[in-house]
Structure 1
Amino acid sequence: MNRTARLYALVEELRAAAPRPATVAVLAKRFEVSSRTVQRDLQTLMETGVPVRVTPGRGGGWSIDPAMTLPPIHFTADEASALTAALATAGTSTPYADAARTAAQKIAASMTGPASAAARELAARIVALPARGDSQVRTAVEQALAHTSVLRLTYTDAAGHESDRAVEPAGLLTADGRWYLIAWCRTRRAGRGFRLDRITAAAPTGERSQPHNLAELLLGSAAAGAARPTALAALTTGP
């Protein structure tokens, strides 16, 4: 059993035992590996956000919340390859790149059979040059969008002019491989797009911002005809 399959199997083993904990020794015997290997695998699951926890002492061990884990996902080989290629584009300058990586690890742990093999084979044949981007800026933008808060940023425009702005984020626009923060600019008193790689500094103010309609802010701009990516339709329309 390869490590990816074992990680998924560990989750399923803990789910089956829940709410009772399982000891490392029992899990090591079950998967015919060393206790050190199981301990390392469990630590990996914890670091990637899987809700596993350890209870010390007599009668303790590792357990999991069965309501918060991925069920088996039955991807086709093409679907697994498509996800692998899409996640490969989540470079360091891409919004939510860190979350994308942990999501990829969870998805990989849930895949078995031809889909898992296809994803691993394609992943071995994709390389990328390091992307330029400030992770602090990206994190500040993510938090401002998540918490609907005013963001103070330093921005350098196409002509090289630098300015300080207080903006109220409305959403993100992706075009030609670049990402833009669409926001209400308090300085210009209008909707503006800020290319993420031109934001040299960003910091949350802690102030709640007013809600803004993304489509309305894009009216009259070159991005007025922007449409929601097809791949996101299922997330926004619901079941």
Structure 2
Amino acid sequence: MANTSTRTLRLLSLLQTHRYWAGEELADRLGVSVRTLRRDIDRLRELGYPVEAQRGVDGGYQLAAGAALPPLVIDDEEAVALAVGLQAAAESPVEGVAEASVRVLAKVVQVMPARLRRRVEALRAMTVPVDWGTSAGVDPDALTVVALACRDGERVRFSYTAADGHGTERHVEPHRLVCLNRRWYLVAYDLGRADWRSFRLDRLTAPTGSGARFAPRALPAEDAAEFVRAGLDGGPRSHRVEVLVEAPADHVRARVGRWGTVEPVAVHRCRLRMTADSLDWPAMALGSLGAEFRVVAPEALRTLVAEWSARFARAAGEMGEAGEE
């Protein structure tokens, strides 16, 4: 018979694979008596797992929803699916999802056996991701290494290529990862330059932890996202977008999240400001609002919206003609 701890984990795994188990069948699977099974069920409850029991001849057990999410037991196939799904979710346009996905991915990869990591990498290499045209590809392994270093307060070394193509070697104290304008940025204290910097992860290669820990420093900004946004606003190649939207500020803020700043102008009108390397993403974001809007700046965005409008109008006209007899 397996020891108590191993048997408890096995019991938890079985309860998570089926909605309901008959008591005798579950005991047979574990190779224990029904009485021992009841003790194991009580042990799971003490650990915070809400296990419901149905009494009687056909009595049995099932996991129920609880007040908090307890640890889950997953098999190899589920672990691979989880890691691949989290890598895809790291490119999510939904506010907060990308950052949370990276945090969970770092936890999963840290304890994942090498054989499963190879399967994850093989599956990712053979999968064509959906690209909206504005996000730059980021190596999931690099993302995970940096995320763990941020969490653990470990200094990191990496190679970095600037916008002008100049490459440098960096030694930093990582602070936070930020997903902004569909790009990943690392906010860190650069030891070589004795100052805070933000680094685009798609320009960062071969990050490795140095093993050296550090005490947190005070970031010269309200938060990491604000620090990155301030750097983008000062960039000569970035586009500063300003749009008047005929919709309540709360509605627009819920759609664009941290990718822009929204201020009310009237009850059903607001001003949206965004900063982006490319105008394609602001144009798509505006189209997703489901509201009338007027581009204040830049002129290039007005031109782009006019081109898209004409293209969509032609497509709609062609569809109408195709339906005529």
**Larger Cα Rg: Structure 1 or Structure 2?**
2
Bin the TM-score by the shorter chain.
Answer: 0.3 to 0.5
Q: TM-score, normalised by structure 2?
A: 0.36
Q: TM-score, normalised by structure 1?
A: 0.47
Q: Which structure ranks higher in relative contact order (CA pairs < 8 Å, sequence separation ≥ 6)? A: 1
